Structure 1
Amino acid sequence: MPSLLASSAPMSALVYLTLILALGVAAQWCAWRFKLPSILLLLAFGFGLGQFTGVRIDNFLAAGEGHGSPLLSAVGLFVAIILFEGGLTLKLSELRESGLPILRLCTLAVVISFALTTGFMSMVLGYDIRLSALIGAILTVTGPTVIAPLLRHVNPTRKMASIFKWEGIVVDPIGAILGVLIFLISRSSSADAAWSEVLWAVAKMALVGCIGGYILGKIVEQLLRRHWIPDYLQPVFLLAVVAVAFTLSNQVEKEAGLLTVTVLGVVLANQKSASVRHILEFKENLRTLIISSLFIVLSGRISLDELSGAFGKGMALLAFLIFIGRPLSVFGSLFSSKQTTLKERTFLAFLAPRGIVAAAVASVFALEFEMAARHGRFGELGPTIASQSQELTALIFLVIIGTVAVYGLAASPLARALGLASRNPTGILFAGADAWARLVAKALHDDGHRVMLLDTNYSNIAASKLMGLEAHRANILSEFAEEELDFNGIGSLVAGTPNDEVNSIAAQRFIHQFGRAHVWQLAPSDHSAHHRTATSSEIRVQNCFTGAPGHPRLQQLAHSGAVVKKSHLTEKFGFEDFQKTYADSSAIVLFLSDSAKGLRPAPREIEKLAAGTTLYVLVPDAPTPTPPSSSVEG
């Protein structure tokens, strides 16, 4: 199909790569700004790039087929990096709560999904059974490239996020390996030879992937523990290790590399002798870049003619996967599961987007099947299978686009309807449960906002629980706080311990969880000191509450009988009226709440607030002037 945008000169590779980067960042920003699934926008931007310019990445690459294609080789390596980064997030401690559901989803659900999809492709859509089985294998995968952005968009409970994360990362190499086995069986001349080849392939994959990945992980752990790799070199060193492990594993056995790098990531994530947090942060940034680029590049390779040719079958397959295949595989595998509720199983049954692994594996094996058919491996059915193989890539991309669109748009409303996610997470996590924090948290809690307090002091936690507040005796800097607590519905951190350094470190650690704009700390005691003696501002975040009161000031107010009052701004009683009302009372505005942004800590300086905003104010124990409007509530 000719491009929709005529050009007098051919586009250079530099211009094309620049467009990929720019469009990828633009899609990610638009997704954040308008609260849309990023993958959906990336696919749309990539498809638009291909249609409007008529240029594909293939125009700048040397020709190649199968695994020899430069593009597919690059995609495979990028997928390996993504799976390794995903493996770095898999903590075995998460299996205590949801280990059995994860095991069932990664085994029994895969078998059910494979069987159902194979049967549908063969008996309903009329594909050859061998190609049907290959499609069934490919579509068992979900993957972190699509799951991670959707989870960030949906923000479900920690339990649901853990299950989806484990399933998406573990099933990816399983689906790729299953595709290899199907191809080996399909091209074999006899059943005995096929099973012999398959068993040998499985043995090599297990040996190379599991054992090789484990041993390599332990070697890397020792190198990091003994400080034989300098800090500045560790991220790129591990990047090179992943590339070498993936490539060597694939040389031994096709598609074993994905299993190797996944196991390597899990091993490093669960060792205790060396920190990999800074490496994980680097890999997360790299993952965002890779996902943005890959989806734009791959969706830009599909033409309208190819999509329209497979559209009917693609829509039928998509409907089957969403309404029959996935629900039956989830409910069948989790039948009588005591670790999941009916609502959780329902949510699991209606969230299974396909991503880059499905696209990459489909692209490779479509070429492999087509070549095998042309060489007469399938006898008289050769031309038919070759023709069907040509439809495979477009068919899988229709499934990717369809599942991402449907699940991306429906997942958040469904999760909220089932009580497994919050519409706008605006609850508050308090680091510290001293008297002032309990006083403020109680006022927010009584208004229906979720609050959580963490403190290592038993008396503070006991007092919080006696007030009916959610409190945990835990260090805000502990792994327990970061990895095991469920922050569903919580959108901001207020670091309010008596220790300024702990507040600063806690705020830095939770930027990853809530975002820099939603992480706050009390004003440190040295905030006005000379820069020679004050702690660097680089390790601190924004100060909360008007006037930037410190911990001693808030404690003094709480012990002297201060109370938290609400004031609702209206057209007649604006913020200037509020300031006049409390001008002589040393009142501190703690939190702001409105319909647009929800509940949030007040900044140290407020210039203007719109009507409809509710203010939570800490007022000293003294007679309060009567406001000029009855809109102030006591």
Structure 2
Amino acid sequence: MSHDILLQLTGIFILGIISQWTAWKLHLPSILFLLIAGLIVGPGLGLLQPDQLFGELLFPMVSLAVAVILYEGGMNLRFRELSKQKIRGVLLQILTLAVLISLVLGTVAAHYIIGFSWPVATLLAAILVVTGPTVIGPMLRHLRLRGRVSSLLKWEGIVVDPLGATLAVLVFTVVRHSRLRDGLAEALFDFWVTFAVGVSFGFIAAAVLIVMLRRFWLPDALHNPVSLMLMFASFAAANVVQDEAGLLAVTVMGITLANQKWVSIRHVIEFKETLTTLLISCLFVILAARLQPQDIKGLGWDSVLFVVFMILVVRPVSILAATIGSSLPWRERLFMSWMAPRGIVAAAVASVFALELAAKGYPQAVELVPVTFLMVFATVLIYGLSAVPLSRRFGLARANPQGILFIGAHKWARAMAQALMNEGFSVVLIDTDRENIALSRMAGMPAIYGSALAKKTREEIDYGGLGRMFAMTANNEVNALTCLHFLEDFGRQEVYQLSLPPVEQDSRHEAIPQEQHGRLLFGEGLDFFRLNDVFGRDPKIKLTKLTKEFDYQPLRLSTAKPQSFYSFLNRIVRLKFALLTVRQILRPGMC
């Protein structure tokens, strides 16, 4: 028996991580593969039985995991982003008017299309107003959208989750009363209590953590454990005082920490991101495995039609109505109206309320879970497959972004950036030298004055079209720090820095450890000063397309100075010139 439990627990973890890796390789939402894995080992093969495995611990564990996910999401929401992009009013409209329209239309659709009673239909609609940050977050990182739509989708996905869960609780409060008037009165009272309790406990927990970090009451090793402890404490305490106030509390705690200026929480965020990935991987496998074969077989065309109606009618109508009169371009409005994948919160809340509502005499409530999972699966599949081509069609994202963020805007960095921009690639230059920035802007290139390590500078970067970063300053330590700084934006495989100079054995200076710098750009020995000599005072970069008749060797022989620039080119055979590093040598068809 103990071996069976061990195998199931291990299998959940293995399936979750393999699904995440598969999604990364195929550039598709991970939840799609997590759901498929859960359905195969659960109702498909019967190898995983979450209810038997976890028993009464299942839903408390799910609730705590969802709390961690929303806490991490809240720590990525900064008010400066709203002010900078002037989207605060639009976001408020989406969180109020769009949610209300979705609730009303969703209720009508569930009643007339599926045939649910009004109470069950209203509860289903309340559950489905949420959009999943577990899906939106990875999707936005992959798309690298331009404009304000990325910020709006991110804020909506995180903030509407606790609001949607609270709305579901309020609807449940109304449903369980025999008299509608009494139910509405209690629901209205519960709403304000939930809001007050959630905000209070979340703010207090954040304040306690800020004080402890600012006064150095904690060693570094305890920063993350204490952060989790306070988050769990605020979640549990808020839920004890008021049902479902915990999700709002942890979201408020995360947002408060993200917008304070007294302590750095970067290391806390990085830990939570790793933990969130692990939790999402396990949760979706577990919840999908809970579905029973008869539940899946019971889904008819009415459920499919309901999902289609939610995607094609409810979401577009709610978003277009909420953005009337806003300054958002139509292409951004249309893209937002097509982007509302459901995630872990909808699945978890449906699982909890289905049991409670069925016990109160609503037999249709057992159908909430399969319909919700159908909605999750369908939206993840449809939006996941269509997001990339649609964003490109609307001009909000580029296909396979190959642009470069240059750290350093000196003369030969500008020459490289100019050559790439002339070929249609996105470039952005950052430098602390005003003259370099001025020359970059005069040449028509986007340039930002400031330190690449500063938060304000980082927030000014338009990541649309950028796929990697080149750290090309004369300071090797700055280059290494910059690579570490932009890891979460581009990934470890897409941050590069110039070669480090050799360190003599008797030198007092030690080499920068390999794990603390980016991938080497151009090759060993080509550091800043060597490249300065190669390019000279007036660097010129010419792009020549290679053909079968005119390949690399004739190109090298045809140059006036074969030992200068093209001797340098000969040493970077891994560079697809003007398109960056690839695992191949120069061949016909390349520039």
Where does 1:62-461 land on structure 2 (aligned, <5 Å)?
A: 63=55, 69-96=56-83, 97=85, 98-157=87-146, 159-338=148-327, 340-373=328-361, 385-386=362-363, 388-461=364-437
Instruction: Look up the SS of the partner of 1:472 in the other structure.
Output: strand
Q: Residue 589 of structure 1 aligns with which residue?
A: 569
Report the identity percentage.
38
Cα offset, 1:150, TM superposition: 1.9
CA contact (8 A) 2:202 2:249 kept: yes
SS at match of 2:148: helix
SS of the residue corresponding to residue 405 of structure 2 reads strand
| CA distance, structure 1, for counterparts of residue 422 and residue 571 of structure 2 | 14
Deviations 1:470-497 (A, max 9, x none): 1111211111232332111101111112
2:522 to 533, 538, 545: 545
For residues 464 and 81 of structure 1, what CA distance do their matches in structure 2 show? 43
Deviation string 1:514-548 (CA, Å, 9 cap, x unpaired) is 11111111123455666862232232122212454
Distance across 2 between alignment mates of 1:38 and 1:527: 44
Gaps of 5+ in 1: 1-8, 64-68, 374-384, 615-634
Unaligned runs of 5+ in 2: none
Instruction: Summarize deviations over 1:235-280 as a string: whole Å, max 9, x none.
Output: 1211122112111111111110000000000000111111110010
- TM-score, structure 2 length as denominator? 0.93
What TM-score do the two structures reach when normalised by structure 1? Answer: 0.87
CA change 1:444–1:466 in 2 (3 A) is: same
Aligned equivalent of 1:468: 444
How far 1:411 moved relative to its partner?
A: 0.9
SS of the residue corresponding to residue 328 of structure 1 reads helix
Structure 1: how far apart are the matches of 2:338 and 2:563?
56
Equivalent position amino acid for 2:71 in 1: F
Equivalents in 2 of 1:92, 1:526: separation in Å? 45
> CA 1:484 to 1:560, structure 2 compared with 1: closer, same or farther past 3 Å?
closer
Taking the aligned partners of 1:424 and 1:395, their CA distance within structure 2 comes to 35
Alignment CA distance shift 1:558-1:28 (3 Å): same
1:610 Cα offset (Å) = 4.2
1:484 is aligned to 2:460: yes
Q: Is the 8 A contact 1:225 1:274 kept in 2?
A: yes
Residue from 513, 538, 550 that aligns with 1:561: 538
Contact 1:435 1:555 in 2 (8 A): no
Q: Supply the distance in 2 between the matched residues of 1:221 and 1:350 (Cα, whole angstroms).
A: 39
Distance of 1:483 and 1:347 partners within structure 2: 23
Report if the CA contact (8 A) 1:426-1:599 is conserved: no
Tell whether the 8 Å contact from 2:50 to 2:289 is kept in structure 1 after alignment.
no
Distance 2:507 2:304 in 1: 63
CA-to-partner distance for each residue in 1:560-582, whole Å, 9 max, x for gaps?
Answer: 33321224344455556656666
Q: Does 1:13 find its partner at 2:5? A: yes
How far off is 1:312 after superposition?
A: 2.0
1:40 equivalent to 2:32? Answer yes
Residues 530 and 95 of structure 1: CA distance in aligned 2, closer, same or farther (over 3 Å): farther
The 1:495–1:309 alpha-carbon spacing in structure 2 relative to 1, beyond 3 Å, is same
1:216 positional shift: 1.8
Q: Quick check: 1:520 aligned with 2:496?
A: yes
Answer with 550-559 or 125-134: which moved more: 550-559
Whether the 8 Å CA contact 1:593–1:613 is kept in 2: the answer is no
> Does the 8 Å contact 1:526/1:534 carry over to 2?
no
More off after superposition, 517-526 vs 486-495? 517-526
Aligned residues between the structures: 585
CA shift for structure 1 position 550: 2.1
Structure 2 CA distance for aligned equivalents of residues 84 and 550 of structure 1: 42
- Two-structure CA RMSD over aligned residues (Å): 2.5
- 1:42 is displaced (CA, Å) by 1.4
- 1:353-409: CA deviation from partner (whole Å, max 9, x where unpaired): 111111111111111111111xxxxxxxxxxx31x1111111111111011110010
- The amino acid of 1:524's aligned partner reads L
Alignment check: 8 A CA contact 1:62 1:70 kept = yes
Indicate the residue corresponding to 2:469 in structure 1: 493
Whether the 8 Å contact between 1:36 and 1:153 is mirrored in structure 2 is no
CA contact (8 A) 1:569 1:575 kept: yes
Between 1:182-191 and 1:459-468, the stretch displaced more is 182-191
| Higher mean C-alpha displacement, 344-353 vs 159-168 | 159-168
Q: Helix, strand or coil: the match of 1:12?
A: helix
User: Aligned pair in 2 of structure 1 residues 480, 404: CA closer, same or farther (>3 Å)?
Assistant: same
| Residue 207 of structure 1: how far off its partner (Å) | 1.7
Alpha-carbon distance between aligned partners in 2 of 1:598 and 1:143, rounded to the nearest angstrom: 40
1:504 aligned to 480, 486, 490, which one? 480
- C-alpha contact (below 8 Å) 1:497/1:551 kept by paired residues: yes
Q: 1:580–1:31: structure 2 CA closer, same or farther, 3 Å change rule?
A: farther
Partner SS, residue 255 of structure 1: coil
